[in-house]
């Protein structure tokens, strides 16, 4: 896969981390969900870069960034990148895994964060309890354990549809885009390799410490347990609010990019 000409690389203490850096103004960091990369934000990057400096990294082990060879934390990787870029406090916008990275970074490195938009996530402590999502997680583990990449990809794409829709209901171009990124990332790894990621624990009780304004923005078709957790998170932090985009699921910015971008832009202007 060809590396984009404008993709940059930061030499971290454990390999190079890839990122895009475009636009000017206050910094906004876009944090992708699991198994994809910075291209997840193709619709948002040019729109937000009209007003902001937009930084879109590939999380370690994803996209064009190096795999881990030693223990690491998502929040520390991001903090190291932001200090290298000398951005000052940045607004963090993340979906799913990216939303967790945003909240964890706001807790662990508050001097680097001025606002948070967390989508399809709460904190790293949150565990899905609904049967549908637990079934998808089990399917991930089973197919990867068997080396069944096509089976794993099918399970991954079902997350786009969610519990109440089928893949036939989804835009095939969106599914192709997700699938290409996911296959690129999964190809970087081998079955049974060690997971070096160190989660931030005890993040939920620390939410009252999160001083940055926070928007919990979610698709209306997310599992009710996640929506409840996102609402509780917004009520627990000192400056939280919620918003919902109806008729979309986990990848809300892909299904309704203009509505998503408008909500994020409005929040950032007021944060």
pLDDT, tens digit (0-9, with 9 covering 90-100), for 20-73: 999 999 999 999 999 999 999 999 999 999 999 999 999 999 999 999 999 999
CA 195, CA 34: separation in Å to the nearest integer?
A: 14
Cβ 87 vs Cβ 221: under 8 Å: no
Tens-digit pLDDT profile for residues 152-178:
999 999 999 999 999 999 999 999 999
Structure letter (DSSP) for residue 120? S
pTM of the model: 0.97
In the chain, residues under CATH classification 3.40.50.1820 are 8-128+195-270
Cβ contacts of 146 within 8 Å, gap of 6 or more: none
Token pair listed for 49: 């870069």
Burial, 148: exposed, middle or buried (Cβ in 10 Å; 0-12, 13-18, 19+)?
middle
Q: State which CATH number among 3.40.50.1820, 3.30.1390.20, 2.50.20.10, 3.10.200.10 fits the domain covering 8-128+195-270.
A: 3.40.50.1820
Q: What pLDDT band is residue 1 in, cutting at 50, 70 and 90? A: very low
* pLDDT score of 70: 97
* pLDDT score of 4: 59
């Amino acid at each position: 896969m060809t590396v984009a000409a404008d993709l940059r690389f930061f030499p971290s203490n454990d390999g190079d981390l890839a990122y895009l850096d475009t636009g000017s103004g206050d910094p906004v960091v876009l944090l992708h969900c699991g198994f994809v990369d910075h291209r997840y934000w193709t619709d948002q990057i040019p729109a937000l870069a009209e007003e902001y400096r937009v930084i879109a990294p590939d999380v370690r082990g994803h996209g064009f960034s190096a795999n881990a060879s030693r223990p690491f934390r998502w929040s520390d990787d991001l903090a190291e990148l932001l200090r290298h870029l000398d951005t000052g406090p940045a607004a963090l916008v993340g979906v799913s895994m990216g939303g967790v990275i945003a909240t964890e970074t706001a807790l662990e490195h508050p001097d680097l964060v001025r606002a948070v938009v967390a989508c399809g996530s709460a904190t790293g402590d949150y565990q899905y309890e609904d049967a549908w999502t637990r079934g998808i997680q089990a399917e991930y583990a089973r197919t990867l354990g068997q080396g069944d990449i096509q089976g794993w990809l099918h399970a991954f794409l079902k997350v786009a549809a969610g519990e109440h829709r089928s893949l036939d209901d989804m835009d095939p171009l969106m599914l192709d885009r997700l699938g290409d990124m996911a296959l690129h990332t999964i190809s970087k790894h081998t079955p049974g390799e060690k997971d070096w990621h160190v989660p931030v624990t005890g993040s939920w009780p620390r939410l009252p410490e999160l001083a940055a304004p926070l928007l919990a923005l979610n698709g209306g078709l997310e599992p009710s347990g996640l929506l409840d957790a996102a609402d509780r998170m917004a009520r627990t932090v000192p400056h939280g609010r919620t918003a919902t985009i109806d008729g979309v699921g986990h990848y809300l910015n892909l299904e309704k990019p203009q509505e998503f971008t408008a909500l994020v832009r409005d929040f950032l202007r007021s944060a």
